[in-house]
Amino acid sequence: MTTKTKRLSRSKTSDGFAYLTKRILVNKAKSAGKVAAKNAMELMGYVVTVKDGWIVKQHQDGTVEQIKKLQVI
């Protein structure tokens, strides 16, 4: 006689409902941001981002153009 046991998923409760943890949310947001940046780079040829206290435009050929320095309050 075999006994079936329910395996609990990390993101589901024992009754089958999914839940959202901070770790899952952060991981999904990071991966979505990377996909969006890749798509924008392919479509526009550049992305605007923040790097080392500057707003910069990163071009597809690897060049980086500084747009504006951020003010620290």
**Kind plus residue range of the DSSP H or E element containing 39:** helix 22-44
Domain segments of the chain: what residues?
Answer: 41-73
- Beta strands across the sheet bearing 64-69: 46-51, 54-59, 64-69
Q: Tell me the per-residue pLDDT of 36-62, one tens digit each, with 9 for 90 and over.
A: 999 999 999 999 999 999 999 999 999
Cα–Cα distance for residue pair 22/28, rounded to 1 Å: 10
With beta carbons less than 8 A apart as the criterion, state whether 14 and 6 touch: yes
Res 1 pLDDT > 80 = no
19-30 pLDDT per residue, tens:
788 988 999 999
